[in-house]
Chains A and B, each alone.
Chain A
Amino acid sequence: MSALVESTSLRKAFGPIVAVDDISLHVRKGEVLGFLGPNGAGKSTTMKMITGFLEPDRGTSKICGIDVAKHAKAAKGQLGYLPEGAPLYAEMTPKSFLNFIAAVRGIDGKARVMSVAAAIEKTRLEAVVDQRIETLSKGYKRRVGLAQAVLHDPPVLIMDEPTDGLDPNQKHHVRNLISEMAPQKAVIVSTHILEEVEAVCTRAVVINKGRIVADGTAEDLMRRAPYHGAVAVRIAQDRKDAVIAALSKHAAVDRVELIERVNGHISLRAIPKNGKPIATDVAALLREHSLPVEELFVQRGKLDDVFRQITMTEGKDA
């Protein structure tokens, strides 16, 4: 099946500043694409071009195969979009707002009543439907924005930082909501919260300075972490030399590093050659030498480190 979102070679410059430089994105049904990057990397600008709000200098964007520049209305009909910061008409109530959105989208009569009710239920807005939006908390406002985006059950859902500024419970709820809807849709979620990528995304694209610098699953990204697959062991201090000697000799271990020294205990890290899994080898080796271990675990590497590594390569202003 072809991709529901097809953006090809998007480029946008604001005066002399090139905000987005040759970004192509293809998202299929069932995929949740995490769109990552430091602030100012061009995430929002890219999303604005994908949704047709902003005209690209070059490149095209298609939603469900419909060109957003040539057939804007048809393409936008297939799209649910939550802009950055979830802008809303503050003087309306969630109910009147959602009814307005439904009316503009051409959902009338019984279908409107049903879709508004469904969106309210999905985003748990029941308690505040008749309150003015300006009086709502940030979490509720964000949910109204989400309700608006999913109201017409669109095949393509694009959300710019949907969990920004929410508390942990609200974040959890929004992520669940995205995961629930994901199988029937193509979803793009921009974020700079990395745990979110692991939690909801099937694929992550990292951009920096308007260019794609990484594209893969969260696992792929993790593999680029400096200590990915390393095995950490905690031992008593007096065993230090014996353990280091034993581990260093092992064929699959590249080198052994000291992590920290706390209250007479020492944490060491064995880094594998070529990223091969070595946990079983290390455990067997230590047992063989009768070296007692207090703790042993495989380090997955931190997504934060990977993120920093790939977005700070050009140094100074990242």
Chain B
Amino acid sequence: MPSSLRGTAAIARRELGAYFSTPLAGVFLTIFVALTGAFAFYVGGFFDRGQADLYAFFAYHPWLYLLLVPAVGMRLWAEERKTGTIELLMTLPVSPWEAVVGKFLAAWAFVGIALLLTLPMWLTVNYLGDPDNGVILASYLGSFLMAGAFLAFASFVSALTKNQVIAFILAATVCFLLVMSGVDLVQNALRVWTPGIVSSAVSSLSFLSHFEEITRGVIEASTIVLFTSVILFALFATVIAIDQRKAS
């Protein structure tokens, strides 16, 4: 294995193990599965829709991620800085990029596991009717990509502070803005004082609108590009933040 992959893989494995070494993992996974189900059935009206699809299930993912993804990402770097293990980690033969990517991948895999645990929903809807499984698969992938984008920002925010609570709140705020940027509330506030191009640029960043497209079965290149580039950008920002603030 090339040496950069080796470090990244070792860090990712350790980090994923760290999630499962505390009760947090169980609590998180339970809450995630319970809430996605509850939203789909009670708020989304899964049965009332009378359609064999998972639209009611996926529609609430952005809102759930708003709270749950910062909870997963808040400890990534804040904890390392608080306990001082960052000094240990950064004096091992790994580059900041390898460490940042390794940790991010672990957190992303953890969210992926949470998503996998919702597969009974998919089975259920197949039992009840004849859904478009292509759309559902795309929605799962879209949901996973979106979670990754939120998570990358959570990782960045976590690198800025030693305090996990602050990391959580900041990450939730950033995620909120990313979700809401296409909503009329935000758009109206922007249109009043900025040229149209700004508000449409901000709107085009909206996770909500992009994700909705996917859940309707429309996968555009721009959506994939948006999520991927957001991830890369936020990870890049994390590397910078680690480099600048690791010792403070």
Query: With an 8 A cutoff between CB atoms, is A129 at the interface?
Result: no
A92 contacts the other chain (Cβ, under 8 Å)? Answer: yes
- The residue on A at minimum CB distance from B14 is A100
Are the C-beta atoms of B246 and A100 separated by less than 8 Å? Answer: no
Q: In residues 40-82 of chain B, which contact A (Cβ within 8 Å)?
A: none
Interface residue ranges of B188-204 to A (CB < 8 Å): none
Of the listed stretches B88-96, B151-159, B164-172, B209-217, chain A binds B88-96
B94 near A73 with CB under 8 A, answer: yes
B residues lining the A interface (CB < 8 Å):
3, 6-7, 9-11, 13-14, 17-18, 21-22, 83-85, 87-88, 90-95, 246-247
Q: Is A261 on the interface with B (CB-CB < 8 A)?
A: no
Using Cβ atoms and an 8 Å threshold, which residues of chain B touch A77?
A: 93
Contact A76 B88 (CB under 8 A): no
B92, A104: Cβ atoms closer than 8 Å: yes
Please report the C-alpha to C-alpha distance between residue A89 and residue B87 in the assembled complex, in whole angstroms.
Answer: 12
Q: Complex formed: what's the CA distance from A74 to B83 in Å?
A: 26
How many angstroms from the CA of A318 to the CA of B9 in the assembled complex?
Answer: 47
Q: Cβ of B85 and Cβ of A87 under 8 Å apart?
A: yes
A106 to chain B, nearest CB (A): 6
- Bound complex: CA A88 to CA B87 (Å): 10
Tell me the nearest residue of chain B to A14, going by C-beta.
B248
CB atoms of A148 and B247 under 8 A apart:
no
- Contact indicator B91/A54 (Cβ below 8 Å): no
Residue among A77, A81, A87 facing the most chain B CB atoms (10 A cut-off): A87
Contact present for A76 and B91 (CB under 8 Å):
yes
Quick check: is A83 within 8 A (CB to CB) of the other chain?
Answer: yes
CA of A53 to CA of B95, assembled, Å: 11
- A selection of 23 A-B contacts at a CB cut-off of 8 Å is A48-B247, A53-B246, A72-B93, A72-B95, A73-B94, A76-B91, A81-B88, A83-B88, A83-B91, A87-B83, A89-B85, A90-B83, A91-B18, A91-B21, A91-B22, A92-B21, A104-B7, A104-B10, A104-B11, A104-B94, A105-B92, A105-B93, A106-B3
Q: Given the known A-B contacts A53-B91, A103-B10, A104-B92, are A85 and B84 also in contact in the complex, defined by CB atoms under 8 Å? A: yes
Which residues of chain A have C-beta atoms less than 8 A from B14's C-beta?
89, 92, 100
CB of A51 within 8 A of chain B?
A: yes
Residues of B within 8 A of A148 (CB): 88
Q: Which residues of A contact B95 (CB under 8 A)?
A: 72-73
The contact string, 1 if C-beta is below 8 Å from chain B, for chain A 65-108, is: 00000001110110101011101111110001000110111100
Using A88-B88, A103-B9, A105-B92 as known contacts, list a sample of 13 further A-B pairs with CB atoms less than 8 Å apart, ordered by residue number in A: A48-B87, A51-B91, A72-B95, A73-B93, A83-B87, A83-B88, A85-B84, A91-B18, A92-B17, A92-B18, A96-B17, A104-B10, A104-B94
Q: How far is the CA of A103 from the CA of B17 in the complex (A)?
A: 14
Kindly state whether residue A210 has any CB partner on chain B within 8 Å: no
Whether the Cβ atoms of B247 and A53 lie closer than 8 Å is yes
**Closest beta carbon of chain A to B214's beta carbon, Å:** 36
- Evaluate contact between B90 and A53: CB separation under 8 angstroms: yes
Which chain A residues border B88 with CB–CB below 8 Å? 81, 83, 87-88, 148
Q: Are A76 and B22 in contact (CB under 8 A)?
A: no
From 140 to 158 in chain A, residues with beta carbon under 8 angstroms from any chain B beta carbon are 148
CB neighbours (8 Å) of B247 from chain A are 48, 53-54
Q: Answer whether A52 and B91 are a contact pair too, CB < 8 Å, given A87-B83, A88-B85, A106-B3.
A: yes
Taking CB atoms and an 8 Å cut-off, the chain A residues in 26-49 that contact chain B are 48
In Å, the complex CA distance between A90 and B6 comes to 23
Interface residues of A in 228-285 (CB under 8 A from B): none
Residue ID in chain B nearest A132 by CB atoms: B21
A48 vs B246: C-alpha distance in the bound complex, in angstroms? 11
Say whether A87 contacts B92, CB under 8 Å: no
CA distance A78 to B152 in the complex (A): 32
Most buried by B among A79, A81, A89, A105: A89
A241 to B153, CA, bound (A): 83
With both beta carbons as reference points, the residue of chain B lying nearest to A83 in the complex is identified as B87
CA distance A73 to B95 in the complex (A): 7
Residues of chain B within 8 A (CB-CB) of A90 are 83
Complex: chain A residue closest to B90, CB-CB: A53
Please name all residues of chain B whose beta carbon is closer than 8 Å to the beta carbon of A83 when the two chains form the complex: 84, 87-88, 91
Query: Of B9, B11, B91, B95, which is in contact with the most chain A CB atoms at under 10 Å from its CB?
Result: B91
